[in-house]
Amino acid sequence: MSKRVALTGNEAIAKAMQQINPDVVAAYPITPQTEIVQIFSKYVADGEVDTEFVTVESEHSAMSAVVGSAAGGARSMTATSANGLALMWEIVYIAASTRLPIVMPVVNRALSAPINIHCDHSDAMGARDSGWIQLFSENAQEAYDNAIQAVRIGEHKDVLLPVMVNLDGFIISHAVENFNINEPEKVQEFIGEYKPEHTLLDKENPITVGPLDLQDYYFEHKRQQSEAMKYALQAVKDVGQEYGRLTGREYGYFSEYRVDDAEIVLIGMGSTMGTARAAVDELREQGVKVGLIKIRMFRPFPGEELARALAHVPVIGVLDRAESFSNNGGPLFTDMHVALYGQEHKLYDFIYGLGGRDTNVSHLKGIFSMLQKAKDGEALDRVNYIGVRE
């Protein structure tokens, strides 16, 4: 049976890693991720896992180390945040392009400058087109569950892509929550033994990893990555359903809350979705038909599925905890705009919470109020900034 515990989000991720028992973890500290690898290092020291724990001199080296170990056939993990993810940039692309199913929790934090150690999604959004599958978590439970499912998703024979498990810095990573952890034996049964078909260390079937790839084949390899992302759609769905049968907590691409009869719907990701849900409930009590969609899988983006779910909704607001500096809204808004192209919706973006700026129920109700006015015909800017001093 599962056990109810009270842990921080970082402890939840470390516990998931302990139950996964990866072959290799390469570690470098950065706030607010440091606790994950610190706690996991204790599991290593105490002999609770069989993992080869590699301490390195930078995040660039951490990703390089797990690229090497994964290419050698080892189930491999690392973790990072913000500027650490940015320092990995070159190797993040190499991990995806080499089709290595590395799992990396990312504790979301604002990118410098100015220096800020608190939450927004600019780190993960910067890597959104690197070829990694990206899952987002609302709380410690989802962070723990996503980390376990990420192993199966990435290692699926038709996918073979790295997976980024995102959780909001401090809000999730350092807050204590009650949640359920699985029996270790069930986790091992669920993820199974990793048996890669091709490895760098298989001397009987030698391969080349990361060769020079010019005009002759580079395009074809990029096309194969695109196909792998299409297969990932089915893998995420199948693994989420199987995990639901195991734990009672089923996962899909996104979850809908009071959307069926909604006339206004907000869409977003991460910890703020709990706050938004409370705002929806308060407004529903007042007879306002509002709803919420929480996106769990940002890459690949489930555009067709979202378009079907929102087909009946006249007014839609998108919550972006990152700025793209394109003058066209944040990253999630851009993807939603493409997904809903050709449909008759009023679509607006709301950028919020940058650098950890608090976003409360009143802010969310204010957004719904702005959308209600837009529904009634009042003018509203396509891109809006919430909770900022203008």
pLDDT per residue rounded down to tens, the chain (390 residues) = 689 999 999 999 999 999 999 999 999 999 999 999 999 999 999 999 999 999 999 999 999 999 999 999 999 999 999 999 999 999 999 999 999 999 999 999 999 999 999 999 999 999 999 999 999 999 999 999 999 999 999 999 999 999 999 999 999 999 999 999 999 999 999 999 999 999 999 999 999 998 899 999 999 999 999 999 999 999 999 999 999 999 999 999 999 999 999 999 999 999 999 999 999 999 999 999 999 999 999 999 999 999 999 999 999 999 999 999 999 999 999 999 999 999 999 999 999 999 999 999 999 999 999 999 999 999 999 999 999 998
Contacts of 175 (CB under 8 A, 6+ apart): 8, 9, 140
For residue 174, which amino acid is it?
H
**Paired tokens of 40:** 């996991």
**What is the C-alpha to C-alpha distance for residues 74 and 193, in angstroms, rounded to an integer?**
11
pLDDT score of 390: 87
pLDDT score of 34: 98
pLDDT score of 42: 98
Which of 367, 339, 372, 334 minimizes the C-alpha distance to 353?
Answer: 367
**What is the C-alpha to C-alpha distance for residues 347 and 326, in angstroms, rounded to an integer?**
17
**Paired tokens of 110:** 């604002």
**Paired tokens of 105:** 């929790």
Half-sphere exposure of residue 293: CA atoms within 13 angstroms, side-chain side: 28
Backbone angles phi, psi at 40, to 5 degrees: -65, -35
Which of 216, 173, 31 minimizes the C-alpha distance to 115?
Answer: 31
Residues of the chain by 3-state class (helix, strand, coil), percent to 5 = 40, 20, 40
**What is the C-alpha to C-alpha distance for residues 271 and 163, in angstroms, rounded to an integer?**
19
Max CA pair span of the chain: 70
Contacts of 350 (CB under 8 A, 6+ apart): 317, 318, 319, 320, 367, 384, 385, 386
Which of 240, 295, 306, 238 minimizes the C-alpha distance to 272?
Answer: 295
DSSP per residue over 334-370, as a string? HHHHHHTTTS--EEEEEEE-GGG----HHHHHHHHHH
pLDDT score of 2: 83
**What is the C-alpha to C-alpha distance for residues 154 and 161, in angstroms, rounded to an integer?**
5
Half-sphere exposure of residue 250: CA atoms within 13 angstroms, side-chain side: 8
Element (H or E) spanning 85, and its range?
A: helix 82-87
Neighbours of 114 (CB within 10 A): 6
Would you call 45 helix, strand, or coil by DSSP?
helix
Element (H or E) spanning 187, and its range?
A: helix 184-191
386 beta partners: 352
Q: What domains can be seen in the chain, in order of their start residue?
A: 3-247 (3.40.50.970), 254-386 (3.40.50.920)
Burial code (b: 16+ CB inside 10 Å, e: under 16) for 219-240 equals: eeeeeeeeebbebbbebbbebb
pLDDT score of 1: 67
DSSP-derived letter for residue 202 is -
**What is the C-alpha to C-alpha distance for residues 285 and 280, in angstroms, rounded to an integer?**
9
pLDDT per residue as tens digits for the range 131-171: 999 999 999 999 999 999 999 999 999 999 999 999 999 99
